[in-house]
Amino acid sequence: MGHDVAATSAVHIQALVSADVILFGSSSKLRLLVINLVPRAIGMPGRIAVGQIPSCTKPRTLYATFRQTTMPRRNNLNGIAHNITKSFFGSERYYSCGYMGDWLLKAARLLNLKTASLNVFDATFNPSELNLHPLTLNAKTLKQIIDKELINNGFDTDFIVEAKIEFEFPDPNICRTTIYCFPILTDKEGRQYKPGRIVEEGLEKDFDPFDELNIYPTKRSTSIIDKIKKLFG
């Protein structure tokens, strides 16, 4: 009787392993799965830790669990596009006279722009007149956010091949402080991720975003010291 049970279990195990090999390939996760499940199939205590892998002997269910816990999650990529936009306009990115929304909006108004865009990977703006030091300095860190979130969601860092944010500047007589942002990520398969319109604002008091002393505030203090030296020199 014991021999028959062992033989039946062996056949069951072989079928399970074969099916899982077809589904999973020869990954280390498969080897862990088989090591844990084989003892259970023949009535011995398993090596499964609590919360590690559910007690299940159906390959399809195992595969579904494997996908849910280890496979890349595409649905989250819209969130990455949203997050880099909110980060760029975040309150932690104050520079000299204002936040990034202030620098971008005031420069766009002086240039009479209705639209503009940011190439996130290159940290460059179009038109090039917007490539002001405060804006490009903060744009350079956005690629790092993308890389980190790709890894957290199970993707390689080269999965996204293009990232940009398109900007629209409404009629200042209607929406004086508003910026409409449209972030877009494109993956290596050509699929795009668009979280939709994000509304940001520039609320600080007016300043000249093209003034060298605003762009490089350290020169401002040097300039004052030079004036004092000249005054008493």
52-69 pLDDT, tens digit per residue, is 545 455 555 554 454 455
Same domain, 112 and 203: yes
In whole angstroms, give the CA distance from residue 37 to residue 34. Answer: 5
In a domain, 9, yes or no: yes
In a domain, 114, yes or no: yes
In a domain, 232, yes or no: no
In a domain, 227, yes or no: no
Same domain, 208 and 117: yes
Q: How confident is residue 36, by pLDDT bands cut at 50, 70 and 90?
A: low
Q: Select from 54, 70, 86 the last residue of a domain.
A: 70
In a domain, 207, yes or no: yes
Same domain, 125 and 165: yes
Same domain, 202 and 132: yes
Same domain, 17 and 101: no
Does position 202 have pLDDT exceeding 90, yes or no?
A: yes
Same domain, 113 and 59: no
In a domain, 219, yes or no: no
Same domain, 41 and 78: no
Pairing of strands 124-126, 115-119: antiparallel
Long-range contacts of 53-59 (CB under 8 A, 24+ apart): 57/12, 57/16, 59/16, 59/19, 59/20, 59/23
Same domain, 109 and 179: yes
Q: Select from 15, 40, 70 the last residue of a domain.
A: 70
Does position 164 have pLDDT exceeding 70, yes or no?
A: yes
Same domain, 80 and 193: yes
In a domain, 198, yes or no: yes
How many domains does the chain fold into? 2
Supply 14's token pair. 């072989």
Same domain, 119 and 171: yes
Displacement of CA 78 from its chain's centroid (Å)? 9
How does pLDDT run across 95-153, given as a tens digit for each residue? 999 999 999 999 999 999 999 999 999 999 999 999 999 999 999 999 999 999 999 99
Does position 23 have pLDDT exceeding 90, yes or no?
A: no
Strand partners, 165: 118, 183
214-230: average pLDDT: 71
- The domain of 111 spans 74-214
Q: Select from 14, 48, 70 the last residue of a domain.
A: 70
Same domain, 92 and 22: no
In a domain, 220, yes or no: no
Sign of CA dihedral 148, 149, 154, 159: negative
Supply 75's token pair. 């649905």
Same domain, 61 and 129: no
